[in-house]
Amino acid sequence: MNALVPETGLLPGFADPVAEAQKTFRAVLEAISRPGTIVTAPSLPAAPAPLNPVVAALLLALVDYETPLWLDQATHQPAVLDYVRFHCGCPLVADPAQAAFAVVAEPQSMPPLSAFHLGSDEYPDRSTTLIIQVPNLDGGDNWRLKGPGIRDQAILSAGHLPAGFKSWVRDNHALFPRGVDLLFAAPAQLAGLPRSTQLEG
């Protein structure tokens, strides 16, 4: 598929799609299974603005024709739309509650977590996974985390999040096993905050 990119004018995806997608998927598993741990992204493909390379890598590794994708208003740029359609082949949805994955490039204007698909009692795994782009993973308030995958306590300090985000995360955790899972994507790193994780303090 990447061989066609020079003819279309699109940015390329992974240089080695299978190997790099597998490495990125393993990084996601590490981030989700060890909440709050900052994981270095193994592959950094070219990304159409305003996406950073980690968001692009996550899309290439996780999203395909079977996964409806919701994009926030900041990402509604021709370069982004063409990129995900070409490389991922995914259906784009206007309603966040219909999304398997969602990309938030501008967290300050994102809808609350409750607006996304929260799963059902029968199928909690069908909820939305949010990919939230942040400038860094050490520039926000220190959130103390407890729960599965955390030995005693972990700290997450993602920056540039909405004022009410912490209460959204608490409300999301209260729905467990329903609720959304979160991936924070900085320019070269990622961190996970699954629905099973509890905020302290």
Q: What is the per-residue pLDDT across 50-71, written as a single tens digit (0 to 9) for each?
A: 999 999 999 999 999 999 999 9
How far is residue 23 from each of residues 54, 108, 125, 138, measured CA to CA in Å?
Answer: 12, 30, 22, 24
Answer whether CATH 3.40.50.11310 is correct for domain 10-195.
yes
**Omega before residue 177 within 30° of 0, cis:** yes
At 2, the pLDDT band (50, 70, 90 cuts) reads: very low
pTM: 0.94
Q: So what's the pLDDT on residue 3?
A: 40
3-state secondary structure at position 167? helix
pLDDT of residue 4: 43
- Of all residues in the chain, what percent carry a pLDDT higher than 70? 96
Count how many residues are written for the chain.
201
161 neighbors 140 (Cβ within 8 angstroms): yes
Per-residue pLDDT at 63:
98
User: What pLDDT, in 10s, does the model give residues 156-199?
Assistant: 999 899 999 999 999 999 999 999 999 999 999 999 999 999 99
Residue 5 has pLDDT above 60, yes or no: no
Q: Domain residues of the chain, as ranges?
A: 10-195
Structure tokens at 25: 């998927």
> 3-state class of 181 per DSSP?
strand
Band (8; pLDDT cuts 50, 70, 90): low
